[in-house]
Structure 1
Amino acid sequence: MAVHQESRRSAHMMEISAVEAAETAPRHGAVMTPLAARAVAVVRITLGFVFLWAFLDKAFGLHYATGSGKGWIDGGSPTKGFLSGVQAGPLRSFFHAIAGTGWADTLFMLGLLGIGLALISGVALRVTAVAGTALMAMMWAAEWPLAQHLTTGAPTGSSNPLIDYHVLYALAMILFAASYAGNTWGLGRIWARLPFVRDNRWLLQ
């Protein structure tokens, strides 16, 4: 057992070393240059703030998308207005049924907060990519940009009936996880060395 655990730790340290070497390599190919790594880090942190700001606005009613006094802490629902207003799509009845429920509000707000903090800090980016893609897919389905395009020829909130910001955000989060983006201007390396992360590789960034 001890030999097996030591073997796992050695393999993991080799992976960390490979990532560190990749980050500093200036060659073309699958490895990013230092400048590219910094550029991706800027996009990562910026997108993280988008999610974090959405959480703060909906939680405290900062009078942007959420009016003053209508925040989550004031008893407002961050999902009721949006989900109850879904007018088309195969999940329309499902969204109407869960609109404003306590568990839907809680999961949505925890998702915004968790994704925002993870992206800004650069940790758990694999889990974040999965959770963020799921959240973006649900929001895309709720807005259903195909609806008006198919019925009237006019787009719904987007000039493209298929690709909108939800898809782009999801793809960006997948890119961050695949490129170890948390190692640059983030806590990715520190996160990877934590014992519980070393023993649960699915938690790696």
Structure 2
Amino acid sequence: MARAATGGDPRVNATVRYLLAGIRLALGWIFLWAFLDKAFGLGHDTTAAKSWVNGGSPTKGFLGSAATGPFAGFYHSIAGVALTDVLFMGALLAIGVALLLGVAMRLAAGAGALLTLMMWTVVLPPANNPFMDDHLVYAAVLVVLALSGAGDTLGLGTFWARIPLVRRTGWLK
């Protein structure tokens, strides 16, 4: 992908690869930080008293009170449900770790795009724009990262792709 976009200039290709790797690492940290803060109440958005390890629900506040628009009823109904909390936290952790390591990029990008699209639907319409917000941008960037092989640079993507199970199942790449 980078070669077609840059005309084959190796210096530009290397720059693009490292830029995409940096974006992958940044998004990985965003997902992992959300997990860590909600799980342990590190005080950024979640206090220790409301952390998941202290019995708090990582979905109750956002889905229970912030949900607006056409899907509000659905999100209110699943807010604070144990299964919703486990799925949400598991997704944040798995996506964050996969992006940071540069492995399972297709799976991580698909799951991350789905999660961010769902988060976009929670607050329809967005506060600052008729339809566009950062969740849609994150979803698009995640797809670009997976399609560009961004896990290979500053990540374990090349090693991951050599695992026999991953070679046999393309969606694990």
TM over 0.5, shorter chain: yes
Match of 1:177 among 122, 146, 157: 146
Q: Paired residue for 1:92?
A: 72
Q: Paired residue for 1:70?
A: 50
Is it true that 1:113 corresponds to 2:93 in the alignment? yes
Decide whether aligned partners of structure 1 residues 183 and 102 sit closer, same or farther in structure 2, where only a CA change above 3 A counts: same
Is there any run of 5+ residues in structure 2 with no aligned partner, and where? none
Q: Paired residue for 2:155?
A: 186
Q: Paired residue for 1:8?
A: none
> TM-score normalized by structure 2?
0.92
Q: Paired residue for 2:81?
A: 101
Distance 2:169 2:148 in 1: 19
Letter of the structure 1 residue corresponding to residue 101 of structure 2 = S
Task: Give the Å deviation of 1:119.
Answer: 0.7
Task: Give the Å deviation of 1:25.
Answer: 9.6
* Conserved? CA contact 2:2–2:16, under 8 Å: no
Task: Give the Å deviation of 1:26.
Answer: 10
1:1-205 alignment to 2 at 5 Å? Answer: 28=7, 33-146=13-126, 156=127, 159-204=128-173
Cα deviation 1:35-86 (Å, max 9, x = unaligned): 1100110011011001100100000000110012211000000000111114
Structure 1 segments, 4+ long, off by >4 Å, are 22-27
Distance 2:157 2:137 in 1: 23
Equivalent pairs counted in the alignment come to 171
Q: Secondary structure at the match of 2:155?
A: coil
> TM-score normalized by structure 1?
0.78
* Conserved? CA contact 2:69–2:125, under 8 Å: no
Distance 2:146 2:85 in 1: 27
Distance 1:27 1:136 in 2: 30
Cα deviation 1:122-179 (Å, max 9, x = unaligned): 1111111111111011110111135xxxxxxxxx1xx322211101111110001110
